[in-house]
Structure 1
Amino acid sequence: MKIGIFFGGPSREREISFAGGRTVYDNLDKSLFEAIPIFVDSRGNFILLDWHYIYKGTIRDFYPPVSALPPSTLPVQVYLESLGELTQAEQDRIIAEVGRRVEPHELRELVDFAFLALHGPGGEDGAIQGLLEWYGIPYSGSGILPSAFGINKVAQKKLLKALNRPTPNFRVLSVEEWDAADPAATLQYLVRELGLPLVFKAPRQGSSIGVSILREADVAKFLDAVERSLFRKTVVGAEWQKLTERDKLQWVQQLVDIRDGIGLPVEVSTLAPLASSTLDATAQPSEKQIVAHPEELLRVLDATLQTTEAVRLTNVDGEAQVLLESFVQGREFSCIVVEDPTGKPLALPPTEIVKGEEMFDYRSKYLPGLSRKITPIDLPEADIQRIREACEEMFETFGFQVYARLDGFISSEAPVTDSEATATDSGNFIFLNDPNTTSGMLPASFFFHQAAEIGLNPSQFLTFLIRTSLAARRRGGMQPVRLAGLLKQLDTAVASRQQQERTRTKVAVVMGGYSSERHISVESGRNIYEKLSSSVKYEPVPVFLTGNSQEFRLYVLPINVMLKDNADDIREKIELAEAGHPTHPILTRIRHEAEAITSAYAGQPTEQPRRVSFSELAEEVSEVFIALHGRPGEDGALQRELEQYGLPYNGSGAESSSITINKFETNRKLREAGLRVAEHRMATRLEWTADSEGFYQSLEAQFPYPFIAKPADDGCSSAVKKIKNRAELAAFSRLIFRDQEELMPADATVLQLGFKEEFPQKEAFLVETLIARDGAAHFLEVTGGLLTHWGPNGELEIEVFEASEALATGEVLSLEEKFLAGEGQNITPARYAPDPAERQRISEEVKAELRRVAEVLDIQGYARIDAFVRVRQQGAVEVLIIEVNSLPGMTPATCIFHQTALAGYTPYDFIDQILEFGKQRADKLELNA
């Protein structure tokens, strides 16, 4: 069956849709389905996407292609809408570089079924559902009416009130009312009616976009919150003039972000001069113009704010209303509801989102480790069952089909509502809000996370949803004879697949660890697991490593534990199992209710984690894929253990790994070999403790500010900081040499550490000169991957891929930019020069240097090498090596997959090559022994 995966789209959630579409593409059962990637661009064009673009980190990495971009000096990637008005012919030329345009009437011939991974307006609002209905193409999820209703938060609130269901009191503020209002009086009215805190929402957005919380009756903060939900921004001339060029660039980068900012294009309205410098919503706009590109926006603001007191920026696709709600103080949860084989709703175990005062925003939802997701929510069974019943009731009331994600709160306080709220047996109150007819589909999202609790892996869950959707469309009257045939065909294929006996190579995928890189390791491990599990060659076995440097503890994970949100959640489940903690009775109940689903789709046993020794692991598996980062994993210790038991593994050998883990030792060896590296030295705790003032002065004498400070043996941008003054150096030293685990708040503030940013404790750190342009004509940061093969005579051959150009929005590349889907800006291949021939010449020189690095360090298997490249005026190329990763990140969004795709390897092909190399190396070693 040909499954068209629709992803991307025009909404502000397009990056999560793109990442979710890739997850579906990778996890569809290859023995049942053929995946057809249908990328939807921000103008609504359907594009049959060339497969290698699916593995880009973000949409902007490939679309619009570099050839279509106007000249710009800004390090900011843009979406198609920033190119301004385009003719059909211009759009066709752009589309032809990444695939081919598909007209709507062609879809019927191209796909048997449409899997909708689209979000927000244009994806969840009934529009695409209506088009597919018109052409008679069955699709996933809810139909037209429930989709249109599911995206409209205001309509939902009104229906809940009409049905006397408990929901927080609310008011709706239209843009016309707001523009004519007195902000102070409006705030006073809303506080009187709804109380504080106040919750502001954009009524037709998801992923917490356009949401904010006002905790005090502050008019300025009130203005900001309303503007955030309307996707507006008022810029005051006096404040703009105070900004440096760097500040302005960062301001524009944040503003044009479609998730946290208001996005582009914007209408720029000049506000009439005011008597005071305090702007309010009654300021009337005069001249207006539409600006689409960030560079043009900077020019317009600089020019306009020379003579005008302020301007208002309004996104052309912003909201026309703001939904304001009373705040609920309670525990937040999310619950996936699916239709069982009889068409009745079945609520999966609800997940609690554990956080502090912070909002569960876009970043917290999608970056592992920033929030805790506990399944099931820690409540008595009766309360959880009441939550499930409430979710199933809302699913039926709103007419949802196939599946939906319902969010809500449980509180010990009755919500501020006009409706009667009924308490549970334990005195808690439940109410629901913001249902989603399409859930996020990242590997560890609620969508797959909760399905795993009934024993379905992502591949099996997707098969179930496709079958359930076909049945729903048939019940709705869509081509009953044709869809009956498709259902029979699918049922037969699923049944025969269960009876097939396949002999597959068992591969232990080791993930986790105990360093600051543990969450990214779990993301990498899960990605490897999913790529291997949908293959016909390998049977992956997820293994979690914990413990310490003296003792590695290995645990084989069942699917429901592997798909916990992050490494800490997995470790907690292991600890509970070892303490004899019984399975929550609600899980036993739900698994029983779901037996008709799991038996049909070969659900796996939901067991407890099982501890194994290295010798036991060697009995169970034939190979190991190490998905760990930093220590342990990249330091050679685990490799030595595996060698003792004859287990082939990926990546470099123990000796090479023990060198590349140490950035100082790596730099020393590369410098001795004549390669360029930054000047560097180790700064030890011993020196600092003995004489902190002398320690600081010694570093300052050798390294003029600014310089780079970072741990010598951690990766993933962990604690990499640009140190600009003595205060930052002292704060960095105190944090990295601290005795307690907790961070010191004052020092964390000095270094501007992000929310929940981890900072390791070390006995020493590495100091390096800041690598700068140094007068070069062109200067860029790159990251290049490589893969090794055995030649015909047993010699080692090194294949170096085209490097990616990394664009950092801050002072150094952040964790999010490297690994969070839709966050980083990576251009592959790197833009060394505008002229194609010159670009290729420079690229070959860079690749030659990276190959030399691999040879000097005896890198085997694969690796990622980070470097800066200077291109001098006369064309001379200088490559300055930053660091080497012998086990690079393998998350779905990492740029190594962009590079391998250019070389013709799918992610599975690349992983297969890595495993084959390790197996052949082990065979060679055994022969030599």
Structure 2
Amino acid sequence: MRVAIFFGGPSREREISFAGGKTVFNNLDRTLFEPVPVFVDSLGNFILTNKQIFEYQKIRDFYPPASVIKNAKKSTRFKVYAESLGRLSDNNFIEMTNAVGQPILPQDFKKHFDFVFLAMHGAPGEDGSLQGLLEWYGIPYSAPGIFGSAAGIDKTLQNELIERITGVEKQQMTIRKATWDTENHGELFERVKAILGLPFVVKAPHGGSSIGVAIVKEDSEEAFVKAVEQCLFRLTLTKAQWTAMNQQAKENYLQKIANVEESIGFPLVFEADSMVDKGAIVYAHPQDLLEKLEDYFSYSDTNAILTSVHGESSVLIEGFINGKEFSCGVIQDEEDRPIALPPTGIEPAVETYDFQAKYVSSATRKSIPVNVPMEQLHEIHRQIKAVAEALRFGVCARIDGFVKADGTVSLHDPNTIPGMSPTSLIFKQMVEIGLNPTQTLTYLIRASLQDRAKTGKNTWRMEQMLADLDRMIDKEVGRLSEKPRVAILFGSVLNRLDESLALAQRTYSQIAAEGKYFPVPVLLTGSPTNHVLHQLPVNFLYKESIEAIKESLYAEKHPFIVECIRQAEAITTKYTGYFDQTVRHLSYEDLAHTVKRVYIAVMDMPSTDEYSVQHFLKSVGLEWFQAH
């Protein structure tokens, strides 16, 4: 099956989508699927590309090309996305898109692929818009359908529906932009405090990846105004602020605005209170705005108001919940029944679990399951399954929430396309029930075909694709016991532990996706002269750190995880054959009887002396390769 991987898009979460697309490409099972990378640029163009694109770190590293920026007569001092170039000539547009691949139109999708794996985030990739386009052209896609996607993008609607479904009341209110712009901010602040108290949370109703969220903790009108403006994606710039900056500081300020994961992004609307300059003008490029601001503040003392063209029309304000935060995935079995995964506890070492904390910082601690009593874990699952079923979150979704001090469970912020980066919670939760990342992606594709077959559109074709895929999955699972076993040896007796873990995860994923061998994680502990080997179940490999693995080596499994594994057993068996949960203590001789070769992901041990890993592997006749 030819599986297109859609990534990028126009939303503020495009860089997370790019990272997710890379993860899907690297982990997709090559024995079942042919991956077809499709870059969706920020203008909405679909571009067939190749795997070399994933060698870049960020979208702006390759798109738009520097030559096109120069041809468009735009400054190259700023790193911008394609929408900042304005209207391009036909030649420039062709040069830009051809630099990364072949542009294709939706009516030609079927010529190039059979299925679309959506690694998209935010509108319009996650809100039902792209899903509707694909259904119009008869292309099956991953994740929930149009209804679930539309419900999953609107935080205000979510809260209202979740309250009806679970019976748990949530304190919230909205402020429309029109109200904010006409009423007294101090009076609005007093009204919010009277209804919700302090602290409270301000959110952009349609923003994901924790972009557009602020917590107001102090009794400060200034903090309140700043939070609301942030979630409307609007900035106010004073003449004093602008004139206090030197040229480099001004450019840095505008570059930060252009970074969509940090600020409001371009294009944006410039508005002024000056009677000379009344009105709104759209600026697409930082250089153009720089020139405008220099000119504007040369004659005006009034503020410049900068608003994203994709700003919100209202903000959602919620009462702050002081409790244990968690995130819980939910999938479905072949009878369309929701199966909740082990909920992950989130303990950020920062005040707000925002974009940086979620995707960039390593300061956030996670635990599976969240550390609450069994009764509350069961209540989390009850509510998660009820919400997923009522809101038509078929295939897969991730729902966040809190367990309050009184034991009440409060859900919020469903996500119908969970992040697909290597550290994403959905992978960590799926591996706890026995599915590695490659098997998880296969599940998502198979379950999506099952869900698409229920729409009444192209039903026969969807059922045929589903039946063909089931036969291929059954065949590959039947071959697992025949595949040569290879060890991924990681860990250390010295330092650099987590570098070794990351290398082992990458190596495991590559081997699992290729499908030629059966990868076996093996942890090295002990001392430089006394090596101790542990053959691990796959879920150990995806724990937060090697120290966390060591703590779990021979510990009793949490009873709730045991329940989750049992509830998902039919799913796990379909994609793995059998989930081996046993930790085995091995000698090098035992290892030689277990695997055919070894990939070494140990980072900091000598490779030549008599106590090296390589020496011991050679002594038992095992072929080895250095992992990269």
Q: Deviations over 1:193-240 (max 9, x none)?
A: 111111011111111000110101212222221121111111112122
Using a 3 Å threshold, how does the CA distance of structure 1 residues 540 and 248 change in structure 2: closer, same or farther? farther
- The letter for the 2-side match of 1:134 is W
Using a 3 Å threshold, how does the CA distance of structure 1 residues 253 and 385 change in structure 2: closer, same or farther? same
Gaps of 5+ in 1: 274-283, 414-427, 652-910, 915-929
- The letter for the 1-side match of 2:420 is M
Instruction: Confirm or deny: 8 A CA contact 2:201 2:214 kept in the other structure.
Output: yes
Q: Aligned-pair distance for 1:348?
A: 0.8
Q: Which residue in the other structure is 1:11 paired with?
A: 11
Instruction: Confirm or deny: 8 A CA contact 2:524 2:531 kept in the other structure.
Output: yes
**Counterparts of 1:508 and 1:406 in 2: how far apart (Å)?**
33
Q: Aligned-pair distance for 1:541?
A: 3.0
Match of 1:436 among 415, 428, 434: 415
Q: Aligned-pair distance for 1:363?
A: 2.2
Using a 3 Å threshold, how does the CA distance of structure 1 residues 433 and 20 change in structure 2: closer, same or farther? same
Q: Which residue in the other structure is 1:348 paired with?
A: 341
Q: CA RMSD in A?
A: 2.7
**Counterparts of 2:343 and 2:493 in 1: how far apart (Å)?**
28
Instruction: Confirm or deny: 8 A CA contact 1:642 1:648 kept in the other structure.
Output: no
Instruction: Confirm or deny: 8 A CA contact 1:23 1:442 kept in the other structure.
Output: yes
Using a 3 Å threshold, how does the CA distance of structure 1 residues 556 and 292 change in structure 2: closer, same or farther? farther
Instruction: Confirm or deny: 8 A CA contact 1:368 1:520 kept in the other structure.
Output: no
- 1:401 is paired with a residue whose SS is coil
Q: Aligned-pair distance for 1:249?
A: 3.6
- 2:263 is paired with a residue whose SS is coil
- The letter for the 2-side match of 1:25 is F
Instruction: Confirm or deny: 8 A CA contact 1:555 1:610 kept in the other structure.
Output: yes
**Counterparts of 2:40 and 2:611 in 1: how far apart (Å)?**
44
What is the correspondence of 1:310-459 to structure 2 with a 5 Å cutoff? 310-356=303-349, 358-367=351-360, 369-413=362-406, 428-459=407-438
Q: Aligned-pair distance for 1:76?
A: 4.1
Match of 1:301 among 293, 298, 310: 293
Instruction: Confirm or deny: 8 A CA contact 2:486 2:520 kept in the other structure.
Output: yes
Instruction: Confirm or deny: 8 A CA contact 1:454 1:603 kept in the other structure.
Output: no
Instruction: Confirm or deny: 8 A CA contact 2:162 2:411 kept in the other structure.
Output: no
- 1:478 is paired with a residue whose SS is coil
Q: Deviations over 1:364-411 (max 9, x none)?
A: 222473211111112222221111111000111212211111111001
**Counterparts of 1:73 and 1:511 in 2: how far apart (Å)?**
48
Q: Which residue in the other structure is 2:615 paired with?
A: 643
Match of 2:572 among 591, 594, 598: 598
**Counterparts of 2:536 and 2:259 in 1: how far apart (Å)?**
38
Instruction: Confirm or deny: 8 A CA contact 2:24 2:420 kept in the other structure.
Output: yes
Q: Aligned-pair distance for 1:324?
A: 0.6
- 1:305 is paired with a residue whose SS is helix
Q: Aligned-pair distance for 1:463?
A: 1.3
Instruction: Confirm or deny: 8 A CA contact 1:452 1:560 kept in the other structure.
Output: yes
Q: Deviations over 1:417-456 (max 9, x none)?
A: xxxxxxxxxxx00010110111001122111111101111
Instruction: Confirm or deny: 8 A CA contact 2:6 2:40 kept in the other structure.
Output: yes
Instruction: Confirm or deny: 8 A CA contact 1:511 1:524 kept in the other structure.
Output: no
Q: Aligned-pair distance for 1:623?
A: 4.8
Match of 1:525 among 504, 525, 528: 504
Q: Aligned-pair distance for 1:457?
A: 0.8
Q: Which residue in the other structure is 1:425 paired with?
A: none
**Counterparts of 2:379 and 2:558 in 1: how far apart (Å)?**
16
Q: Aligned-pair distance for 1:260?
A: 1.8
Using a 3 Å threshold, how does the CA distance of structure 1 residues 639 and 206 change in structure 2: closer, same or farther? farther
Q: Aligned-pair distance for 1:498?
A: 2.0
- 1:77 is paired with a residue whose SS is coil
- 2:94 is paired with a residue whose SS is helix
Q: Which residue in the other structure is 2:562 paired with?
A: 588
- 1:376 is paired with a residue whose SS is coil
Deviates more, 1:602-611 or 1:351-360: 602-611
Higher Cα Rg, which structure:
1
Instruction: Confirm or deny: 8 A CA contact 1:614 1:642 kept in the other structure.
Output: no
- The letter for the 1-side match of 2:418 is S
- 1:600 is paired with a residue whose SS is helix
- The letter for the 1-side match of 2:34 is E
The answer to whether structure 1 residue 506 and structure 2 residue 511 are counterparts is no
The answer to whether structure 1 residue 482 and structure 2 residue 461 are counterparts is yes
Deviates more, 1:188-197 or 1:250-259: 250-259
Deviates more, 1:197-206 or 1:500-509: 500-509
The answer to whether structure 1 residue 290 and structure 2 residue 282 are counterparts is yes
Instruction: Confirm or deny: 8 A CA contact 1:120 1:204 kept in the other structure.
Output: yes
Using a 3 Å threshold, how does the CA distance of structure 1 residues 271 and 522 change in structure 2: closer, same or farther? farther
**Counterparts of 1:462 and 1:170 in 2: how far apart (Å)?**
36
Instruction: Confirm or deny: 8 A CA contact 2:166 2:383 kept in the other structure.
Output: no
**Counterparts of 1:497 and 1:451 in 2: how far apart (Å)?**
20
Normalization by structure 2: what TM-score?
A: 0.92
Q: Deviations over 1:498-527 (max 9, x none)?
A: 222644362424257875x64454333312
Q: Aligned-pair distance for 1:75?
A: 5.4
- The letter for the 2-side match of 1:498 is V
Q: Which residue in the other structure is 1:755 paired with?
A: none
Q: Aligned-pair distance for 1:159?
A: 2.6
Match of 1:106 among 83, 105, 108: 108
- The letter for the 1-side match of 2:5 is I
**Counterparts of 1:296 and 1:638 in 2: how far apart (Å)?**
65
Using a 3 Å threshold, how does the CA distance of structure 1 residues 610 and 222 change in structure 2: closer, same or farther? farther
Instruction: Confirm or deny: 8 A CA contact 2:328 2:342 kept in the other structure.
Output: yes
Instruction: Confirm or deny: 8 A CA contact 1:9 1:42 kept in the other structure.
Output: yes
Q: Aligned-pair distance for 1:20?
A: 1.0
- The letter for the 2-side match of 1:448 is F
Higher relative contact order (CA 8 A, sep 6+): 2
Using a 3 Å threshold, how does the CA distance of structure 1 residues 252 and 557 change in structure 2: closer, same or farther? farther
Instruction: Confirm or deny: 8 A CA contact 1:508 1:623 kept in the other structure.
Output: no
- The letter for the 1-side match of 2:392 is G
**Counterparts of 1:44 and 1:513 in 2: how far apart (Å)?**
50
- The letter for the 2-side match of 1:600 is K
**Counterparts of 1:318 and 1:63 in 2: how far apart (Å)?**
24
Q: Aligned-pair distance for 1:289?
A: 2.5
The answer to whether structure 1 residue 186 and structure 2 residue 193 are counterparts is no
What is the correspondence of 1:506-905 to structure 2 with a 5 Å cutoff? 506-511=486-491, 515=495, 518-545=497-524, 554-564=533-543, 566-567=544-545, 570-578=546-554, 581-602=555-576, 604-607=578-581, 609-613=583-587, 616-617=590-591, 620-621=594-595, 623-627=597-601, 632-633=604-605, 640-646=612-618
- The letter for the 2-side match of 1:255 is I
**Counterparts of 1:247 and 1:623 in 2: how far apart (Å)?**
55
**Counterparts of 2:361 and 2:329 in 1: how far apart (Å)?**
20
Q: Deviations over 1:147-205 (max 9, x none)?
A: 11110111122334455732421111111111112222211111111111110111111
**Counterparts of 2:248 and 2:66 in 1: how far apart (Å)?**
24
Using a 3 Å threshold, how does the CA distance of structure 1 residues 641 and 136 change in structure 2: closer, same or farther? closer
Q: Which residue in the other structure is 1:230 paired with?
A: 232
Q: Aligned-pair distance for 1:342?
A: 0.6
Instruction: Confirm or deny: 8 A CA contact 1:118 1:438 kept in the other structure.
Output: yes
